[in-house]
Structure formats: C-alpha cells, structure tokens
Amino acid sequence: MAEHNFDVVILGGGSGGYAAALRSAQLGLSVALIERDKLGGTCLHRGCIPTKALLHSAEVADVTRDAAAYGINATLQGVDMPAVNKYRDGIVDRLFKGLTGLVGSKAITVVSGEGRMTGQNSITANGDVYTGKNLVLATGSYSKTLPGLEIAGRVITSEQALQLDFVPSKVIILGGGVIGVEFASIWKSFGTEVTIIEGLPTLVPNEDASVSKAMERAYRKRGINFKTGVRFQGVQQSATGVVVTLENGEQFDAELLLVAVGRGPNTAGFGYEENGINIDRGYVITNDRLLTSVPGVFAAGDIVPGLQLAHRGFQQGIFIAEEIAGLKPATIDELGIPKVTYSEPEIASVGLTEAKAAEIHGQDNISVYEYNLGGNGKSQILGTAGFVKLIRKNNGPIIGIHMIGSRVGEQIGEAQLIVNWEAFPEEVASLVHAHPTMNEALGEAHLALAGKPLHAHA
C-alpha cells in the first residue's frame, strides 16, 4: 500500500470536483482527483449535456413539423433515434475529450478508481492512500425512486431514458419537476403520447406561481397530458407495458414509466460518517464556507443541501479551492443562482418568487410587473408565448426575475446580473437592448417598471 501526499485530495470528478481541481491547480496547489467512472460526472455524461442535445433534436422535429406555417415545404418523416443518439454522443465525446485534455494539461493527478474516506485527511483508492492537507467530497447524486417502486424493466430513470434507441409510443412520467418536464418535452416533440403525474398542485412547483400556470397552459396546448395534486400508488409491468395506479384509483397504461422524483445525495458507503462527517438525510452538512464538521474537509455539488445544478457545483468547487489557498472568497448566495428549466417553452428564473418576496418584505412593499411576449417582435417571429416577470422592492432593487417562453434560458445571464448587482429598474431602463431580440422583453419590462413603458400598456 503506497501513500501519496497532496495539498488537496478530491473525491468525485463531476462538476464540483473537477472545478475544485482546476482552480486548485491554477493556484499552485498539488491535487489528486479520484474518479470511479468518467471525468465530467452526471452533467456531462448523463445530465445537462445529453438532454440538451436531445432537446435540440426535438426542436428540429417541431420546426420541421410546423414548417408550412413559415412557408417552407418540408415533411417530418420520422425520428431516427440511433442517429439522434449518435449526434448526442458526438457532442458528449468532444466535450469529454476537451475536459480530459484540460485536466491532463494541469498538475492534477487523476486517479481512476472508487475512493473511500479512511481517515480525517485521507482517501483510499485501489489500495493506495491519498492524504491531503485538505479533502473535497464531491460524490454527486443518483436518481431517487419512491418506497417500493423498483427501477427495472419498463420502469426507468433518466439514465435509462437517455439510452433508449427507439421513440416510445406512450410514456407516463412520475414527477413534474425539471427532469420530468424536460423529458416530457423531448418525447412529445418526437411523437410520444406523454402523461405527467405530479403529487404537488402544479407542474414545476418550485417556480413562481404564474410561471407554473403558464407552463401548464403551454403543455396543455402542446397536448402533453398531466395530472397534478394526485399521488402515485403502484405500477404493474407486463411484457408489453405498464399500468400505473394512483391513490384516487385512476389507472393509466403506457409503454414505459419514467421515474423523475428528484435526486438523492450519493454519500452512503464512502466512510464519511465513520470519519466524523455530519450527515443529515444523506446530505453532507457544511457551513456557508462549504466546510464540513471535520476540519480541512470541504464538500461541493449535489451532496450539499440546496439547488442541484452543475453551475452551482462549479462555483462551489472554485470557492473551495480559493478558500484552501487562503484567498477568502465571498460566500455564494444561493438565492442568486440562476435556474433554467429546459423544455419547450423554457423557464428561466433568479431571485425571489412573488410569494416569497411578499412573505419576506410584505406585499405592500414590493411591485410586480409582467411583460407579455406578445409585444415582443422576435417572440412573434418565433411564434412563442410567455412573459418576463419582474419583482422589485419599492424604491429599491429588482429582487426576482421569472421568464417563460422559447429560448428564454439564453437571457438568464442579464437577469442574474440585474438581481445579483441589485440593479434598480430605472438603471436597467437606461441600458439599450438590441432590436429585434427576445432580450428586448427584459429591457421593456424594466422600462415599464420604471414608469416609462414603450411597447407596453402601463
């Protein structure tokens, strides 16, 4: 058994882990990065990237199907799933090569194997001990299921859904959160009959109430079926399909059941608790500097309670490296993290929802403005509906931005600058937004909230 010493030993090479490795190496720290599968983790191989590639193929299918509305003669003859998967895999492979090259070009020792915490400053992998002045735990998450609901055969999670080499004719999706609506959107565009079952009262229940409502309207219009406020009871599988029963007795049949009920922290069996790491319901508890209960041991990404998003993991990884290097970085404001739900239409949001803002500041102390994309030229050209909703503190800054419509995810950059820099609507109103862009809708909404609407009624 060999022993290796580093400034930083990182367990898990996903978004959180590899960001910590890259920034640590930049700062001159010696780094070991232990990964049991592939660098890039869930986001690159089983999450963000492959699903967005499928969504792009789905958009091409929709555009082709609707081509006549734009005066173009084209017919959608079908979806060649193996070819779609080949396109998707090509993107993942290129990014994987790029990432491997990037990590390989730095002074980072990549260890291929499963690691386990075997001391307060050591991780053992392949029988070797990697001792770090600091450890970073970044072992990510797994697709959860419900008690008694076994993932097997025709009952699948996003992982198996991404591997399908055919377009299912009929699918039931358990869960109307980000992953559920994303697959609903993809499959509907590919021609599948989709039904979403959501236990909470609305689809995308974590979003602002008006966005959830608009999403339901959009999905209804697209012919995506959904049942909300109903609870799943059980599923029966046969050789040809599944029958799902709800607690209210309703039954639905389909070819597949996709379970999309959230992701759980991947922390069991890695020696965390045995070595003094405080764990709550599987999550690693940290302070706001991402330090665990063990001195010198940090945690990043989906194992830390909060938004399970790749860009949060990246930022946490960077933060930890800078903290270890003594740069005293500013803590990450979870509320300022931008969120995008990728589907047709897209949802993008940052900051407080109207309900939360009213709860914190009082309804009388906030102002809300909704700019309808009906007044936005580029949105009309694209044929999308939706809105930009702003929430401001009276005589104060913008504290929440919520958008729904095709491609609004591309506008979250400006929205997050506005919220995180605590801009006043009057300040944003004086910035020029290019015409005709969907981005203008953000500018118009701020003009209106500043009391000088242009292409909008007061």
The binding site for ligand FAD (CB under 6 A) comprises 11-17, 34-37, 41-43, 46-48, 51, 114-115, 138-141, 158, 179, 266, 270, 301-302, 308-311, 313, 342
Task: Pull the structure tokens for residue 272.
Answer: 């965390």
What is the distance between the alpha carbons of residues 190 and 78, in angstroms, rounded to a whole number? 8
Q: Which is nearer to ligand FAD, 17 or 175 (CB)?
A: 17
Single out the catalytic residue among 56, 361, 433, 435.
435
Distance of closest approach, residue 286 Cβ to ligand FAD, in angstroms: 13
Task: Pull the structure tokens for residue 76.
Answer: 């959608």
Phi (first) and psi of residue 11, to 5 degrees: -105, 110
What is the distance between the alpha carbons of residues 216 and 229, in angstroms, rounded to a whole number? 13
What is the distance between the alpha carbons of residues 375 and 386, in angstroms, rounded to a whole number? 10
Measure CA 304 to chain center. Answer: 15
Q: Which is nearer to ligand FAD, 156 or 423 (CB)?
A: 156
Q: Going along 139-261, which residue ranges are E strands?
A: 141-143, 155-156, 170-174, 193-198, 225-228, 232-237, 242-246, 251-254, 256-259
Distance of closest approach, residue 421 Cβ to ligand FAD, in angstroms: 22
Spatial neighbors of 294 by CB under 8 A, at least 6 apart, are: 120, 275, 276, 277
Distance of closest approach, residue 125 Cβ to ligand FAD, in angstroms: 7
Residue 435 is a catalytic residue: yes
Distance of closest approach, residue 92 Cβ to ligand FAD, in angstroms: 13
What is the distance between the alpha carbons of residues 273 and 142, in angstroms, rounded to a whole number? 19
Distance of closest approach, residue 19 Cβ to ligand FAD, in angstroms: 8
Distance of closest approach, residue 24 Cβ to ligand FAD, in angstroms: 15
| CB-CB contact of 346 with 338 (8 Å) | no
**DSSP symbols for 317-380:** HHHHHHHHTT--PPPP-GGG--EEE-SSSEEEEEE--HHHHHHHH-GGGEEEEEEEGGG-HHHH
Pairing of strands 155-156, 256-259: parallel
| CB-CB contact of 19 with 26 (8 Å) | no
**Residue 152: CB atoms within 10 Å:** 9
Q: Which is nearer to ligand FAD, 125 or 428 (CB)?
A: 125
CA dihedral (144, 150, 155, 157) in degrees, to 10, reads 20
Q: Which is nearer to ligand FAD, 35 or 208 (CB)?
A: 35
Q: Which is nearer to ligand FAD, 7 or 182 (CB)?
A: 182
Distance of closest approach, residue 247 Cβ to ligand FAD, in angstroms: 27
Q: Which is nearer to ligand FAD, 188 or 393 (CB)?
A: 188
Q: Which is nearer to ligand FAD, 17 or 176 (CB)?
A: 17
Amino acid occupying residue 301: G
How many residues can be counted in the chain? 458
Strand, helix or coil at 11? strand
What is the distance between the alpha carbons of residues 72 and 58, in angstroms, rounded to a whole number? 18
Write out the catalytic residue numbers.
435
